[in-house]
């Protein structure tokens, strides 16, 4: 296909716009390398990726350096080659500080409070005391082993996890989402309260939220829960908007966003437990009768086959909710990160390969981000819908 001149210019501009964004991932990767190796010489991968950022043409001397890259790597084994898996995994996992970028070899990150109860009692301090590899009152971040990346202490020559309720990156992300939700919904609610008129139709923020709330209420909650849907609407709406906001914020690549909130199993576990409680605490008598004494031939109940299956079903439903949300969001994040890693993984292969792979990577990233935007809504919608269905199933009335 022959692209017209305008199209070519557009694509070059797009790349120029997209690449600075990608460079933050590069910085992240560099940061990881720095944290794992105390002294870090300039890695050839980074030089090349930097020159790849400046434009699609690469000067001949950097091409020469690219050719020399394997040699340099051979001479200096401490110069770690770019490790996409490590970078992706480190992004997906939680961290004690909120890394923003690395500028000229210096990490710019927001230190977050660490709250731990070690063998010496409670300790509260900022994470910058230990993220650089330091030790604070016997506490440090494990570099390897089963507690890799977590705060540990050495007790009797043993690495042990203290009780750790640090405000990690994900925890801060949760608080950001909660703050956004509180501001949004309390502002909207005030707009209604201020004009206590029956025919008041809100505009702006309240109007937007009303549209969202009403569409979720009418298309999901009302049909799935059944007649007393208003009792469960606050929980379901909170869950929906929490997941939706977290998903959207997770797609924003810079500071208040970027945290992998709903792609963290602890978060989805709490959400699933909340649904579990909503289902089972408010279940009707018929719901429990259907579980423990279902309407099946007696021999299926005498050997308690059906009750056991039904009882397991109580737990598999929220478990599926937990895994679905977690896996979807985590997969989305890993795919976007992996695609961005293509740029840096091909950096030592020369200008032509790296340039074309960069273009492909950016195209895929644009596509994936669009897809993830859809997924962000879809997963929140699916979670809310299934929660509504489970709640609705627990609201059965005896049918005669």
Closer CB to other proteins, 75 or 163, in the complex: 163
Instruction: Kindly tell me which residue out of 166, 328, 379, 395 binds other proteins, with binding defined by CB under 8 A.
Output: 166
Does the footprint of other proteins cover residue 88 (CB under 8 A)? no
Shortest Å, Cβ 187 to other proteins: 9
Instruction: Kindly tell me which residue out of 136, 185, 287, 364 binds other proteins, with binding defined by CB under 8 A.
Output: 185
The answer to whether 351 and 57 have CB atoms below 8 angstroms apart is yes
The 220-259 contact track toward other proteins, x by CB under 8 A, reads ----------x--xxx-xx---x-----------------
Shortest Å, Cβ 373 to other proteins: 23
Does the footprint of other proteins cover residue 189 (CB under 8 A)? yes
Question: 250 CB contacts (<8 Å, ≥6 apart)?
Answer: 173, 257, 258, 259, 260, 261, 262, 263, 329, 333, 376
Does the footprint of other proteins cover residue 73 (CB under 8 A)? no
Does the footprint of other proteins cover residue 266 (CB under 8 A)? yes
Q: How far is CA 364 from CA 23, 183, 259, 342, 387, in A?
A: 16, 35, 21, 10, 33
Closer CB to other proteins, 327 or 360, in the complex: 327
Of the candidate spans 52-60, 70-78, 130-138, 260-268, the one that interacts with other proteins by CB under 8 A turns out to be: 260-268
Instruction: Kindly tell me which residue out of 1, 39, 163, 281 binds other proteins, with binding defined by CB under 8 A.
Output: 163
Closer CB to other proteins, 200 or 367, in the complex: 200
Instruction: Kindly tell me which residue out of 22, 139, 152, 171 binds other proteins, with binding defined by CB under 8 A.
Output: 171
Does the footprint of other proteins cover residue 264 (CB under 8 A)? yes
CB-count exposure of residue 382 (10 Å: 0-12, 13-18, 19+): middle
Please identify which residue in the block is written with the tokens 């929490």: 242
Residues 323-382 that bind other proteins (CB under 8 A): 330
Q: Which segments of the chain are extended strands (E)?
A: 97-103, 106-111, 113-118, 121-126, 139-141, 151-155, 158-160, 163-164
Does the footprint of other proteins cover residue 167 (CB under 8 A)? yes
Closer CB to other proteins, 267 or 365, in the complex: 267
Other beta carbons within 10 Å of 215: 11
Of the candidate spans 121-129, 269-277, 374-382, 387-395, the one that interacts with other proteins by CB under 8 A turns out to be: 269-277
Shortest Å, Cβ 81 to other proteins: 23
* Ramachandran angles phi, psi of 101, nearest 5°: -160, 170
Whole-angstrom Cα distance, residue 91 to residue 83? 13
Of the candidate spans 31-39, 74-82, 179-187, 338-346, the one that interacts with other proteins by CB under 8 A turns out to be: 179-187
Residues 26-55 that bind other proteins (CB under 8 A): none
Does the footprint of other proteins cover residue 267 (CB under 8 A)? yes
Among residues 203, 232, 200, 201, which one has the least CA distance to residue 216? 232
The answer to whether 278 and 235 have CB atoms below 8 angstroms apart is yes
Other beta carbons within 10 Å of 22: 24
Written as six digits, the tokens of 1 are: 């296909």
The answer to whether 21 and 13 have CB atoms below 8 angstroms apart is no
Among residues 218, 216, 209, which one has the least CA distance to residue 188? 209
Closer CB to other proteins, 65 or 161, in the complex: 161
Written as six digits, the tokens of 125 are: 């301090």
Strands 158-160 and 121-126: unpaired
Of the candidate spans 57-65, 198-206, 353-361, 383-391, the one that interacts with other proteins by CB under 8 A turns out to be: 198-206
Question: Within 13 A of 97's CA, how many CA atoms are on the CB side?
Answer: 22
Q: Which residues bind other proteins (CB under 8 A)?
A: 89, 92-94, 115, 148-150, 163-168, 170-171, 174-175, 178, 181-182, 185-186, 188-189, 192-193, 198-201, 206, 209-210, 213-214, 217, 230, 233-235, 237-238, 242, 264-267, 269-271, 274, 330
């Amino acid at each position: 296909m022959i692209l017209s001149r305008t199209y070519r210019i557009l694509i070059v501009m797009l790349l120029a716009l997209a690449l600075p964004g990608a460079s933050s991932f590069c910085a992240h990767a560099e940061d990881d390398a720095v944290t794992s190796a105390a002294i870090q010489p300039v890695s050839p991968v980074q030089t090349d990726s930097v020159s790849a950022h400046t434009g699609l043409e690469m000067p001949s001397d950097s091409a020469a350096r690219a050719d020399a890259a394997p040699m340099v790597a051979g001479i200096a084994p401490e110069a770690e080659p770019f490790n996409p898996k490590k970078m992706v995994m480190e992004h997906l996992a939680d961290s004690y500080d909120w890394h923003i970028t690395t500028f000229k070899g210096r990490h710019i990150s927001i230190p977050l409070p660490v709250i731990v109860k070690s063998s010496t009692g409670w300790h509260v301090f900022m994470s910058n005391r230990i993220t650089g590899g330091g030790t604070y009152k016997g506490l440090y971040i494990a570099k390897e082993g089963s507690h890799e990346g977590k705060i540990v202490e050495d007790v009797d020559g043993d690495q042990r996890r203290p009780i750790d309720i640090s405000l990690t990156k994900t925890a801060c992300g949760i608080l950001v989402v909660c703050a956004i939700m509180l501001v949004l919904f309390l502002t909207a609610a005030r707009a209604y309260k201020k004009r206590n008129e029956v025919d008041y139709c809100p505009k702006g923020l309240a109007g937007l939220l009303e549209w969202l709330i009403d569409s979720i209420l009418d298309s999901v909650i009302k049909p799935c829960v059944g007649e007393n849907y208003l009792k469960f609407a606050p929980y379901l709406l909170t869950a929906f908007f929490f997941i939706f906001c977290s998903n959207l914020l997770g797609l924003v690549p810079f500071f208040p966003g970027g945290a992998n909130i709903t792609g963290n199993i602890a978060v989805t576990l709490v959400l699933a437990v909340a649904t579990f409680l909503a289902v089972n605490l408010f279940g009707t008598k018929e719901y429990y009768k259907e579980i423990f004494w279902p309407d099946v031939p007696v021999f299926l109940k005498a050997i308690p086959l059906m009750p056991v299956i039904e009882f397991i079903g109580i737990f598999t439903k929220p478990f599926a909710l937990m895994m679905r949300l977690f896996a979807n969001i985590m997969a989305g994040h890993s795919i976007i990160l992996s695609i961005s890693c293509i740029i840096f993984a091909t950096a030592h292969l020369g200008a032509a390969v790296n340039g074309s792979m960069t273009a492909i990577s950016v195209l895929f990233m644009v596509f994936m981000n669009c897809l993830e935007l859809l997924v962000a809504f879809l997963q929140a919608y699916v979670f809310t819908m299934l929660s509504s269905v489970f709640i609705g199933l627990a609201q059965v009335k005896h049918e005669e």
